[in-house]
């Protein structure tokens, strides 16, 4: 065993602490599963004490305690586990009083701990987050078979933690998928409500609004079907259904859906599009959701009697889309967390509308799946905001798969 001084930390300390945090094991109650493993370790070595410990930044948290001592944690400098996590094999001291480096460290309790054997709890990434160790107040010996069994117990602890982590991530993935789907359903529901109000105020628009209602209902059915399908997949990443999309036609449909909402605030929506704008290869529903969200936000956060300008133009191999409003604008703090889920921004709806803080984060993920980009510009508070979206005309599926792979 290569011995290192106890006050030094592993080279991968930051990554190690991140992995320990991911396990969410610190400051949890004792559990029968872990306690049985610690007890088995004590029985294998025939020692008076055994522990399952996790080494945090400044302390060692005691998850399982098979001893007469009552303690939940100890300072990191006072634990031999601080040394053990810096070794990939079992760290063993048959008699601590014969090790000069330990004797010279007054913080270590070597008068009470004469025999120590600790196997690191190594994560699949190679981070030693803690130990399963056996301790005795008198010197002792250990056979190779005992040390091998201690390493096996350490691997069982890690397997347990990894299974919990996978389960938790699976649940989080399902919840995120559900949130995304519910958010996407909100848009067509809003379109149905607007179309119904337009029909009640303007009977001659029945034919046009009926088509919008039918389209919105179809989108809801599609989203629910997609949710059921994706919930059955092991890979929860969103996949795209790519087809040719006429953006000009899509914008006209969206503007028809939003005309009543804008009129309520006496807002004017100006739309400018290149006459010969080529069609793009994209997922029609997801791009529509993005544009719907940007236009909805522009109306929601803009003041009454203002103008919203929407433009779409060709820019090299990309279509360049801008949604510019004369609303409340963004401050520096807003810009830092703009596309974060459930972010609380300084702007508030000007017509008592509601917001769940998911729209922009979902829009960003949809645009990035298309190998595009989305960002915002604002001169400052009360000076308006411009959202810019760039999407390639040709969709490169290889790039999409590469990005998904890198994300995983």
CATH number assigned to the domain comprising residue 92: 3.30.450.40
The predicted pLDDT at position 163 comes to 85
Q: What's the start-to-end Cα distance of the chain, in Å?
A: 36
The count of domains in the chain is: 2
**Is the residue at 171 inside a domain?**
no
362 in the same domain as 261: yes
Residue 197 exposed, middle or buried by CB count within 10 Å (0-12, 13-18, 19+) = middle
How deeply is 408 buried, as exposed, middle or buried, from its count of CB atoms within 10 A (0-12, 13-18, 19+)? exposed
Question: What is the gyration radius of the CA atoms in the chain, in angstroms?
Answer: 30
Whether 189 is covered by a domain: the verdict is: no
State how far the Cα of 5 lies from the Cα of 7, in Å rounded to an integer: 6
- pLDDT, residue 353, reads 73
d(CA 389, CA 134): 59
Q: How many CB atoms lie within 10 A of CB 291?
A: 23
Do 155 and 259 reside in the same domain of the chain?
A: no
Q: Give the pLDDT confidence score for residue 277 in this predicted structure.
A: 93
- Tell me whether residue 2 is in a domain: no
State whether 131 and 267 are in the same domain: no
Pick the last residue of a domain from 113, 147, 166.
166
Q: State which residues form the domain around 390.
A: 238-407
**What's this model's pTM, rounded to 2 decimal places?**
0.50
- Residue 205 within a domain: no
> Does some domain include residue 206?
no
Q: What is the CATH number of the domain that holds 381?
A: 3.30.565.10
The answer on 264 and 396 residing in a single domain is yes
In a structure prediction context, what are the per-residue pLDDT tens digits for the chain, which is 408 residues long? 333 444 477 778 899 999 999 999 999 988 898 999 999 999 999 999 999 999 999 999 999 999 988 888 999 988 999 999 999 999 999 999 998 888 888 778 777 899 999 999 999 888 999 999 999 999 999 999 999 999 999 999 999 999 888 877 766 766 766 776 676 677 677 778 777 777 877 777 777 777 777 777 777 777 676 666 655 544 434 567 889 999 999 998 888 878 878 888 999 999 999 989 999 999 888 898 899 889 989 999 999 999 999 999 999 999 999 999 999 999 988 898 888 876 778 888 888 776 666 678 888 888 988 989 999 999 999 999 999 999 999 987 544 433 333 333
Residue 133 shares a structural domain with residue 254: no
| Dihedral angle over CA of 167, 169, 172, 173, nearest 10 | -110
Return the number of other C-beta atoms located less than 10 Å from residue 231's C-beta. 13
Query: What is the structure's pLDDT at 2?
Result: 36
From the CB of residue 58, how many other CB atoms can be counted at a distance below 10 Å? Answer: 9
Report phi then psi at 377, rounded to 5.
-130, 140
Q: Which of 166, 196, 216 is the last residue of a domain?
A: 166
- Provide the pairing of β-strand 128-136 with 115-122: antiparallel
Q: Which of 113, 146, 166 is the last residue of a domain?
A: 166
pLDDT at res. 243 = 92
pLDDT at 355: 67
The SS3 of residue 291 is: helix
pLDDT at 359: 77
Contacts for 332 with CB less than 8 Å, ≥ 6 apart: none
Q: Are residues 66 and 155 in the same domain?
A: yes
| Residue labelled with tokens 């049985």 | 36
Q: What sections of 202-303 are H helices per DSSP?
A: 206-231, 247-264, 284-301
Cα(27)–Cα(224) distance, integer angstroms: 40
> Does 195 reside within a domain?
no
């Amino acid at each position: 065993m290569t011995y290192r001084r106890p006050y030094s930390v592993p080279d991968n300390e930051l990554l190690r602490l991140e992995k320990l945090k991911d396990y969410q094991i610190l400051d949890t109650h004792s559990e029968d599963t872990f306690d049985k493993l610690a007890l088995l370790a004590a029985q294998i070595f025939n020692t008076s004490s055994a522990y399952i410990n996790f080494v945090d930044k400044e302390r060692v948290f005691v998850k399982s305690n098979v001893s007469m001592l009552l303690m939940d944690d100890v300072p990191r400098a006072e634990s031999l586990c601080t040394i053990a996590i810096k070794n990939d094999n079992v760290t063993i001291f048959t008699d601590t009083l014969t090790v000069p480096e330990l004797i010279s460290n007054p913080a270590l309790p070597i008068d009470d701990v004469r025999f120590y054997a600790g196997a690191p709890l190594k994560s699949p990434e190679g981070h030693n987050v803690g130990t399963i160790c056996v301790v005795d107040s008198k010197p002792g010996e250990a056979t190779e078979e005992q040390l091998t069994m201690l390493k096996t117990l350490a691997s069982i602890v890690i397997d347990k933690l990894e299974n919990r982590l996978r389960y938790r991530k699976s649940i989080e993935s399902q919840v995120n998928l559900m949130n995304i789907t519910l958010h996407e359903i909100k848009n067509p529901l809003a379109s149905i409500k607007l179309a119904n109000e337009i029909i009640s105020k303007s009977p001659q628009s029945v034919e046009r609004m009926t088509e919008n209602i039918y389209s919105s209902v179809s989108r809801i059915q599609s989203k629910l079907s997609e949710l059921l399908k994706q919930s059955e997949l092991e890979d929860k990443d969103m996949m795209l259904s790519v087809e040719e999309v006429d953006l000009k036609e899509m914008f006209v449909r969206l503007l028809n859906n939003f005309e009543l909402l804008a009129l309520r605030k006496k807002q004017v929506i100006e739309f400018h599009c290149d006459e010969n704008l080529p069609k793009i290869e994209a997922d029609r529903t997801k791009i529509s959701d993005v544009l719907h969200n940007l236009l909805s936000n522009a109306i929601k956060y803009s003041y009454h009697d203002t103008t919203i300008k929407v433009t779409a133009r060709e820019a090299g191999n990309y279509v360049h889309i801008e949604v510019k409003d004369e609303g409340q604008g963004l401050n520096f703090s807003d810009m830092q967390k703009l596309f974060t889920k459930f972010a609380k921004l300084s702007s508030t709806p000007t017509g008592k509308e509601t917001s769940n803080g998911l729209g922009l984060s979902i829009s960003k993920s949809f645009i990035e799946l298309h190998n595009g980009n989305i960002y915002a510009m604002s001169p400052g508070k009360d000076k308006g905001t411009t959202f810019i979206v760039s999407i390639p005309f040709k969709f490169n599926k290889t790039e999409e798969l590469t990005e998904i792979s890198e994300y995983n």
